[in-house]
A = this chain, B = another copy of it.
C-alpha cells in the first residue's frame, strides 16, 4: 500500500492544521510498521525522523485505536531494550467481497492483508436481481465476520469488487455488462444490510465498490512489496479480459476512475463482435471463451458452461500436459494474440512487470515463456523496456484480496477512522 514516507511537522506561524499533521504522522508510523515489521519506539523514532516523545504519543493513540499492539522486547537494540510494537494481529480486520459472473467470494484479512478466513460460493449473479445479489453478499460477509466480531475484532470496512465500471463517489456500478448492471447503487444498500448484521459504531457502515481488475492489480502490487515495483500491468483472462495499471506505485485511474479497460484495446478492425459493441477488441481473441472455442469442439465438457470453470481449466491443463495437439495449438494461437496485445500496452506504458492473472495464470506455463522470449521483438523500446512477464500466484483470489487491501487502506491512510476504545 502506498502511504506517507516522510514526516510532516507542524507549520511555523501558528497556521498549521495540527490534526492533519498528526494524522499524517500516525499513518507514517503504521505504514512503516506494516512494511518493515515490529520494532521499538526508539527505533521507529530513529528511522522516521520523528522525535521519541512524538513517537510515544502516536504509538499510544494507535494502540488505543486498535491498530498497534505491544510485543516482545526488541533484540539487538543498543541500550535498554524497548518493547517492540507492531500492527495488532486481530483487533481490526478488513473485509473484501468479489461479485463474479458465476461466484461470490468473501475474505477477511488483518491490516497487513494476511487472509484470516475466506469463502467462495457459486452464484448466478446475472440471473438474479441486484437486490438479491446484495442481500446474498451481506449474508456471506455477515457469516464470515460474525465469529471474528464475537472474538473481539472490529471490521474497518468492506470493499466490493465487481467486473465493471464503478463510481467511487456515489458507490455505484456504472456499467457491468456481464452482470447486466447499469447505474446500480451498491455501497449505500450494502452499508445498511451489513451494518444491520455486524453493528458497531460506524454510521454509515463503511462500504466501497471498485473494479475487480483494479483491485487485483493492487493485490499484485502488494504481493511484490519486497521488490517494490512502481510500474505494473495486470492482464487477467476470464469471461472477458480485465486490466489494471499501476504507475508511480499507484493505480492509474484516469479522469473519472474508468482507466484500465485493457481488454478493449482494438486489435483488429475486422474482428469478432465484442460485448462492448465494437469489433476485434483484445478480449474477443484472448478471453476464456475465445480459447475454448479453439481448444474444443462444441459439446466437449470443457465448453459446458454448467461445469465449474476451475474444473474446466484443470481439464485443459491436463490435456496440455499430455501434449494434446488441439489444446496446444489453441494456446499457441491465443498466446500470439496475447503477445501482440501486451506489446501494444508495453509500448504505451513501459511497465516493469506484466502480471498474467485468471486463466492466463492457470495455463501460464504455456503462455509466459513465449511471451517473455518474444516480447522484445514486438516492442519499440530496447529489451522490451525491461518488462518482465510474471504469472500471478494469487489464483482466483486476486480481486477479493485487493478488495480487502483497499478496505484496510482507508484506516492505514487515516488511522483516526478507527474509533478510540
Contact = CB atoms under 8 A, between A and B. Distances in A.
Contact of A380 (B16, B261, B270): B261
Interface residues of A, number: 65
A344 interface: yes
Contacts of A86: none
Given A9-B11, A12-B51, A269-B268, A352 B382 contact: no
Contacts of A377: 277
Interface stretch (A73-81, A247-255, A288-296, A406-414): A247-255
B254 A349 contact: yes
A380 B258 contact: yes
A137 interface: no
B231 A255 contact: yes
A281 to B, nearest CB: 8
Interface in A225-257: 230-231, 243, 245, 247-248, 250, 252-257
Secondary structure type dominating chain A contacts: loop
A11 B386 CA distance: 38
A347 B265 contact: yes
Contacts of A277: 377
A349 B385 contact: no
Given A174-B382, A269-B340, A350 B13 contact: no
B350 A175 contact: no
A386 B13 contact: no
A262 to B, nearest CB: 6
Contacts of A260: 348, 350
Q: Which 7 pairs of residues, A with B, have the shortest CB-CB distance?
A: A254-B350, A13-B51, A258-B381, A259-B350, A255-B352, A261-B347, A9-B9
A9 B230 CA distance: 28
A386 B256 contact: yes
A266 B340 contact: yes
Which of A255, A267, A276: most chain B Cβ within 10 A?
Answer: A255
Contact of A9 (B10, B243, B343): B10
